[in-house]
Structure 1
Amino acid sequence: MAKLILIDGSSYLYRAFHALPPLTNAQGEPTGALFGVVNMLRATLKANPDYLAFVSDAPGKTFRDDMYDQYKANRPPMPDDLRAQVEPMLAIVEALGFPILRVPGVEADDVIGTLARQAEAAGIEVEVSTSDKDMAQLVSPHITLVNTMTGTVMNADAVKDKFGVPPERIIDFLALTGDTVDNVPGVPKCGPKTAAKWLAEYDSLDGVIAHAGEVGGKIGESLRAALPQLPLSRDLVTIKTDVALEQGPTDLARREADVATLRELYTRYEFKQALKELDSADAPVGAHPVRDALAPDAAEDDRAQGALLPADNAPGSYELVTTPAQLDAWLAKLEKAELIAFDTETTSLDAMQAEIVGASFAVETGHACYIPLAHDYPGAPAQLDRAATLAALKPLLENPARPKLGQHAKYDINVLSQYGITVQGLKHDTLLESFVWNATATRHDMDSLASKYLGYETIKYEQVAGKGAKQISFSQVDLETARDYAAEDADVTLRLHRALWPKLESEPKLRQVYETIEMPLVPVLARMEQRGVLIDVNELRKQSQQLGKRMHEIQQQAYAEAGRDFNLDSPKQLQAILFDELGLAARVKTPKGQPSTNEEALEAIADDHPLPRLILDYRGLAKLRSTYTDKLSGMVNPRTGRVHTSYHQGGAATGRISSSDPNLQNIPVRTEEGRRIRQAFIAPEGWRVMAADYSQIELRIMAHLSGDEGLLKAFHEGGDVHRATAAEVFGLPPEEVSANQRRAAKAINFGLMYGMSAFGLAKQLGVDRGEAGDYMARYFARYPGVHAFMETTRAQAHRDGYVQTIFGRRLYLENLSARNQALRQGAERAAVNAPMQGSAADIIKRAMIAVDGWLAGRDDARMLMQVHDELVFEVRADAVDAVREGVVARMSGAAELKVPLLVDVGVGANWDEAH
């Protein structure tokens, strides 16, 4: 079948302009967008289409301007650097032999739509090369879209996957959501999910309009208010497919290239590879021609082979802003920018106590500024007033309509919050882009990301501030050095986004995880960190004393068991007593072959003699005291009177949130001493602590993913699932199941999620391996769906190198092909568990976003902490019932599983009482 490629020239030009660094030739002429377009056109030619056309907007108004005088009214004028590249682009396109179509009175979309439908009717396969979402309405069995940046093909299934509606409903979808870029009015606050939901329920825009009275809440009010304009919106977003054209699809064969003109243009604009290819008849064709054409967005394997543009890792040009005129110029530039990369420099890693020293901004790659505000070394030049400058920046930073970009932006948001600035409009975070793209490919700090994705070596903090005892505060760094370091942060952040965002755009499910889970969670976590949690310092001091007393008692018992005094904290002395004097068997060795005294080694011999257990108990209490009861008191923020943890989204590969300073995730809950620490987490007078915890969430996810009828039934009946499992495994009525049998079933239920072997189960239950294997065989016989799921998941992991959560997060696994059997089996166990643990992480994140949104309009409850599957709140005493109901509804509704999502809620004067 013949093939027609229609190139959306405007889309090519704009995407190349924003994706590539601001390149120039020796004469200073801008060439970045031109370079990208030329490379993509060369790649298109390698595909050898039968027909092709380069379609661009003609100058002047179109019929849509006559329909609506505000159409595209908000669009900023084309940047001068981009406008200068339009004519050279058209000259190269023509010299390459592409037919160029520019039809007055209509847009390029309409010309493309008309040709696509004509070609389809003539039995010609059509590929539309674009990144314009409006084009999705053209997709059909014989018309596909190709993303100009990534080479990703979008067919009807991909349209449905991305937008939630099929191609024939895209017009209605766009009419409802509107288009801020083209200034097409939609239904206010109607996002893609709401539009897709309405269209699924009412079939079409006309159906939505007819049933508008049935839609409740504020969104229903918005819909009814927007009804008069919806027909206009539909007309504006509808691509015309009946434009009168002088040429049809079969008239669009490629003309012979004008080699002499191409050589002249390529030489002028310094396109060396294109020149080389021009003189070579056998230039290689890449596996991904469009993606490989753009070096900054090339595949990672290509980067490893050195396929980087020199400008991709070239130094930037940075400005030091120290005068009101410079600041005004940058404020004007920021106001017009499509995306603002920003960063702060401070005096501390603790965002809640840090003082801001300066701020940096970038709106185009290769260029950035640093605004010093509080450098105070001897002889420091005059700087802008910090309070006045932050006041000038405040409207911009708080404007949700000005999209912003950061690298670990939550830190900067928290720092700025201390100065009365509530950052809004955070659109992207490169840490999270990298984390969602591949959580295990690299660390997600800026230095690591720049090295991996840009081939760029960043200036390190130690290079400007020193290290160790001689390290100075950033406020002591001279302005010129500070400018290069700080402005580079904003510039590299923007460069990273240009490299990472197209990757996520090419994978709809990953993009959805990023846009609907990770990014909305950033301000939620920031607010939780800013609120902090109230601590009873006196209670902690009392507990420290009690722990010290208990440790002393254990110490005396240990002396008695050893027959002499010794230092319980000395591994060398302990080694001598355990293995030399007491003659215990050393079951775990150090890398050097010596008997180990670590926790695993002591657990292995804990049944052989009382001393190892005493040492383990002593260490547990010592850790509680040093990590929590002694340390937490000193972590109370003097300004707020509260303790403020830091939450990390880009830590665990499964997506689990972790916390540090203090680490709230590791407070033991199974020991009396650990639970007592939670008694020091209190509520203010007149308030209560509320803890809401998902019940057996990973096991419920296992039931959902496996679809096993027996497990689903056990959860739907709402009884004791471990007792139900024991009844199945041991062939008994539930009421006859013994405590040991229930314990065995519980161990199997949870153990299988972590890929536990018969050997591991035997060790946990204290039975021989044969008996444990028999338990597992009976389990799988009764729950065959679980076994099938585990086998299928392992196979998928080996095939793809990753597994997925319910929501599409990818969890990459190393060592699946390792020769070492232990490493390989460990990776396979992780493959089985990762979908459950990762889905649980996604669910509680979705719950946090929903709960935070609901609480935004209330003053009687605050979300304070997230610990594993639990959310902790401060609730005014008279609002407990209402808040409990609202929290449970949103946590239960965070995912649609085949089994109920149950939430246990407790309330008390402190966290322990509520747990």
Structure 2
Amino acid sequence: MSTHRLLLVDGSSYLYRAFHAMPDLRNAQGFPTGAIQGMVNMMRRARTELDADHIACVFDAKGKTFRDEMYPEYKANRSSMPEDLALQIEAIHQVVRAMGWPVLVVPGIEADDVIGTLAKQAKAADWNVLISTGDKDLAQLVEPGISLINTMTEERLDSAGVLNKFGVPPERIVDYLSIMGDSVDNVPGVPKAGPKTAVKWLNEFGTLDELMKRSAEVKGVVGENLRASLDWLPKARELVTVKIDCDLKEHLIGLHELHAKSEDKETLRELFTQFGFKSLLRELDRGSNSAPSGTQGATQAASDVKTEAKIADVKEMSAGDLLGFVAELPTEKIERHYSCVTTEAELDVWLRKINSAALTCVDTETTGLDALRVDLVGISLAVSPGEACYIPLAHTTNEDQLNKQSVLEQLKPWLESDEHAKLGQNLKYDIHIFDGCGIKLRGIQHDTLLQSYVLESHRSHDMDSLAMRHLGEKTIAYEEVCGKGVHQITFDQVNLETATQYAAEDADITLRLHHAMYPAIAADEKLLRIYREIEMPAMLALAVMERNGILIDSAKLAAQGQIVGQRLLELEKQIHELAGQPFNIQSPKQIAEILFGKLELPVVKKTPSGAPSTDEEVLQKLAENYPLPARILDYRSLAKLQSTYIEKLPRMVNPKTGRVHTNYSQAVAVTGRLASSEPNLQNIPVRTEEGRKIREAFIAKPGSVMVSADYSQIELRIMAHIAEDESLLKAFAAGEDIHKATAAEMFHVALDQVSSEQRRYAKVINFGLIYGMSAFGLAGNLGIERSAAQQYIDTYFARYPGVADYMASTRVIAKENGYVETVFGRRLWLPEIRSANGMRRQGAERAAINAPMQGTAADLIKLAMIAVQDWIEQNHMQTCMLLQVHDELVLEVPESELELVKENLPKLMTGVASLKVPLLVEVGVGANWEEAH
């Protein structure tokens, strides 16, 4: 038997994985480099961990293959390769070759077929073969001597593994895939026949051929579908079969040409320098052959020697290197030791562990998502990477578990201790869960959701995505444990063994994510400030606000509903009269038929499918000249108000508290703004009388009043601070009406001579320019010619040259760094700022201008929330902070504390920062939110 071992890497699978796992990294010239860097890490890991004396990395070639000739619709629904990834393909080939890997790209043949041919050739020569891929189609190649590995999940498949995973042996995988079809490659199968049906049929009939012969025996709709597919199935089988006899002579002399080579360090040095991979260059210069291969990070707490060394290492890094740093850390293989705590002795062991640990991850499992209504099912803890437990408390599976109340009583001193540091993923949720159990969670030091948000606000922050991106780990999905759709069960119905693997993994992965991400934050003073002084304390203030909730007057809403309902009927009648016939006003298709078919109104724009669009922007444009689109807009606005607020709000009152409790998402908006949901209380349309009536239904409890505190013209003040324009600074310092002052400058009139029309123009220009508005946009807003709008902009910049300089320099900075910053140092990422697509790039440039102002305003309101909540708690007041809506805070204040709040609220909110212009806070008081505002 030969001792040779051939490792075949599915390069096409790898490069997509690398592209989606890495940040949007670029070199100094703006060339995208994230996928290249990810490939370096993954290929080094493969070579280090998957021992082989012969290796090859196989990529798909450009152009059509024999399958396209056979079936023109093959892969027809697959989206084109992302532009930034396509740019990196050639560079990836160069780097992989320089790393000592033979690279194979065979025109007209897919990578799978090259891999299949090489695997069978090696097997015929008595070599062992290992294929590294995430593609299930290659399971058909498995046999004794040929196995698969998915390095992202550590899953290895031999013949028994294929049978266990798919339910059929390797020799039946082609039949299995033919029955199911492949939606990714646009290969149809038997309609409605999924994996379970395919396995059932093959177990019953043995082969696809036998199934087709005896198709009359298959009953029901799926049997009819099978019989209707008999002519197609042979073609499907041909399409999903990996070829094992490709002619590779022009591209490969023989298997021995695939021997593993040494790295070409000089070429790698040139390439790493070109792409700006400073950490990889340092690794190369140290002469190390060990592979940075993921992001599992250290195995000690964040304050240990290793972490400190990492922090020191990144102190001098550029922004791109800082984001890529985590992905270049060496992987330490983590062994998992998860335990299910079901005895007092086991609980004692874990109580000792968490009481002596420097940092513990804590996580809760519950019966649902609404933190104020669900029940606690269990608690998971992790004290070091790979070491975690799950304490089941309320499972309904008739398995032994400890008494819930007893466990909580024993854990309460530790949970409420400020001395014991805790971390979690989205701990705001867990705060609510423990609060519902009579426990105040304290000692909160870290939250990985917020760490990710501070590092990469433009990426996804859920734990599954973070684990894949930073640790190279595929975690157990909730749906894998509880199912989905109508068949989904609640977590208390999950058996303890399954629950333990899922819950303990959550705690373990969260701890490891902290070790992976926190060094990059700790290494940068600005990011550390955003994380420690804004995001973490803001999370605690938000938890209090969410729990406080707000009272609503359901009777007032019901009365408003009757008025709106009547108005909707009147509008419907008007719309049908204008259209000349009745139609469904909620149907975009029917609206299009009326507007563009029957009435022949001009088509403003089209949908991706080519049909005339009827979106809000189109209707607003048409409404300038035609009455029907205007009435449809009115109808849509009122109907949304009715369904979203008038009808829904009373149903959302929590029966335990009698209040409505919104949820604030911290890690959603790139700019740092909060997002309110369930219900969304930030988007009530207050410019209409009906919208303002909705806010009248938000009331204070008896003996209290509503207080609203709002930063005045905050984004304009921030622009003046950032741009340092003398005229703007002077106007704000003098306390002038900024729109009047702008009008006076632009129209060359005295301040007291500014007309209301001139002030309106100045206001539109002021706010338009801080959102990067073009002359075209300004013309549309003011209803003037584009040339006149451009003249206004030119005049504005001439009078405020500091603003023009700010905008020009910001575009340059954004393109160089890939981000802009708030006054406080928050990074606002702009993924499209270097896009080859002109419209996307211009959109990113406009966003770059506004983002520092909007982001700084978001930072300010968070700092204000923190200051106000601290003041309330320190003075043991009954006042409650209820809502945050953009630049406004809403409080419920006992009448006995009203004067104290009115006096101190402006001081607290203006005192959180010192800008070059004075901050101004306006305070209103009323029996309801609208009256206070």
TM-score by length of 2: 0.66
For the pair 1:496 / 2:490, whether they are aligned, the reply is no
Determine the C-alpha separation between the residues in 2 that align with 1:482 and 1:878: 50
Instruction: Tell me the CA shift for residue 608 of structure 1.
Output: 2.6
SS at match of 2:464: helix
Match of 1:328 in 2: 348
SS at match of 1:890: helix
Structure 1's unaligned 5+ residue stretches are 1-275
Name which of 287, 290, 304 aligns with 2:281: 287
Determine the C-alpha separation between the residues in 2 that align with 1:870 and 1:304: 37
1:642-721 equivalences in 2 (<5 Å):
642-721=659-738
Determine the C-alpha separation between the residues in 2 that align with 1:306 and 1:772: 50
For the pair 1:373 / 2:393, whether they are aligned, the reply is yes
For the pair 1:354 / 2:371, whether they are aligned, the reply is no
1:716 corresponds to which letter in structure 2? A
Instruction: Tell me the CA shift for residue 335 of structure 1.
Output: 0.3
Determine the C-alpha separation between the residues in 2 that align with 1:420 and 1:881: 33
Match of 1:309 in 2: 331
Match of 1:150 in 2: none
SS at match of 2:281: coil
Structure 1 residues 301 and 906, CA gap change in structure 2 (3 angstroms): closer
Instruction: Tell me the CA shift for residue 371 of structure 1.
Output: 0.3
Determine the C-alpha separation between the residues in 2 that align with 1:384 and 1:576: 65
Match of 2:775 in 1: 758
SS at match of 1:807: coil
Aligned identity (percent) is: 54
Match of 1:472 in 2: 489
1:509 corresponds to which letter in structure 2? K
For the pair 1:912 / 2:913, whether they are aligned, the reply is no
Instruction: Tell me the CA shift for residue 860 of structure 1.
Output: 3.1
Instruction: Tell me the CA shift for residue 302 of structure 1.
Output: 7.0
For the pair 1:431 / 2:449, whether they are aligned, the reply is yes
Match of 2:822 in 1: 805
Instruction: Tell me the CA shift for residue 301 of structure 1.
Output: 8.3
Q: Deviations over 1:269-310 (max 9, x none)?
A: xxxxxxx999x9999894345999976449788799987526
SS at match of 1:428: strand
2:749 corresponds to which letter in structure 1? L
Instruction: Tell me the CA shift for residue 316 of structure 1.
Output: 2.2
Structure 1 residues 893 and 756, CA gap change in structure 2 (3 angstroms): same
Name which of 529, 535, 551 aligns with 1:518: 535
Structure 1 residues 749 and 283, CA gap change in structure 2 (3 angstroms): closer
Structure 1 residues 479 and 764, CA gap change in structure 2 (3 angstroms): same
Determine the C-alpha separation between the residues in 1 that align with 2:601 and 2:268: 71
SS at match of 1:666: coil
Name which of 884, 890, 908 aligns with 1:890: 908
For the pair 1:775 / 2:775, whether they are aligned, the reply is no
For the pair 1:412 / 2:430, whether they are aligned, the reply is yes
- Give the superposed CA RMSD: 2.2
Determine the C-alpha separation between the residues in 1 that align with 2:507 and 2:921: 42
Does the Cα contact within 8 Å between 2:327 and 2:470 map onto a contact in 1? no
SS at match of 1:444: coil
Match of 1:870 in 2: 888
Determine the C-alpha separation between the residues in 2 that align with 1:293 and 1:517: 36
Name which of 548, 554, 566 aligns with 1:531: 548
The count of residues paired between Structure 1 and Structure 2 equals 634
Structure 1 residues 301 and 786, CA gap change in structure 2 (3 angstroms): closer
1:821-840 equivalences in 2 (<5 Å):
821-840=838-857
Determine the C-alpha separation between the residues in 2 that align with 1:575 and 1:304: 51
Name which of 559, 576, 579 aligns with 2:576: 559
Does the Cα contact within 8 Å between 1:727 and 1:734 map onto a contact in 2? yes
1:224-239 equivalences in 2 (<5 Å):
none
Q: Deviations over 1:428-453 (max 9, x none)?
A: 0000001001111x200000100101
SS at match of 1:353: coil
1:910 corresponds to which letter in structure 2? N
Structure 1 residues 293 and 819, CA gap change in structure 2 (3 angstroms): closer
Q: Deviations over 1:249-275 (max 9, x none)?
A: xxxxxxxxxxxxxxxxxxxxxxxxxxx
Deviates more, 1:609-618 or 1:283-292: 283-292
2:916 corresponds to which letter in structure 1? K
Match of 1:337 in 2: 357
Instruction: Tell me the CA shift for residue 858 of structure 1.
Output: 2.9
Structure 1 residues 898 and 688, CA gap change in structure 2 (3 angstroms): same
1:234-245 equivalences in 2 (<5 Å):
none
Name which of 866, 876, 881 aligns with 1:858: 876
Determine the C-alpha separation between the residues in 2 that align with 1:550 and 1:785: 49
For the pair 1:724 / 2:716, whether they are aligned, the reply is no
1:549-698 equivalences in 2 (<5 Å):
549-698=566-715
Structure 2's unaligned 5+ residue stretches are 1-260, 270-278, 298-309, 311-320
1:551 corresponds to which letter in structure 2? L
Match of 2:78 in 1: none
Does the Cα contact within 8 Å between 1:844 and 1:894 map onto a contact in 2? no
Structure 1 residues 756 and 301, CA gap change in structure 2 (3 angstroms): closer
Structure 1 residues 302 and 721, CA gap change in structure 2 (3 angstroms): closer
SS at match of 1:787: helix
Instruction: Tell me the CA shift for residue 651 of structure 1.
Output: 0.6
Does the Cα contact within 8 Å between 1:584 and 1:608 map onto a contact in 2? no
Determine the C-alpha separation between the residues in 2 that align with 1:286 and 1:472: 47
Structure 1 residues 281 and 564, CA gap change in structure 2 (3 angstroms): closer
Does the Cα contact within 8 Å between 1:303 and 1:453 map onto a contact in 2? no
Deviates more, 1:596-605 or 1:691-700: 596-605
Determine the C-alpha separation between the residues in 2 that align with 1:286 and 1:715: 50
SS at match of 1:341: strand
Does the Cα contact within 8 Å between 1:308 and 1:455 map onto a contact in 2? no
Q: Deviations over 1:621-666 (max 9, x none)?
A: 1111111111110110000111111111101011001111011111
Does the Cα contact within 8 Å between 2:326 and 2:470 map onto a contact in 1? no
Determine the C-alpha separation between the residues in 2 that align with 1:288 and 1:541: 68
Determine the C-alpha separation between the residues in 1 that align with 2:896 and 2:923: 16
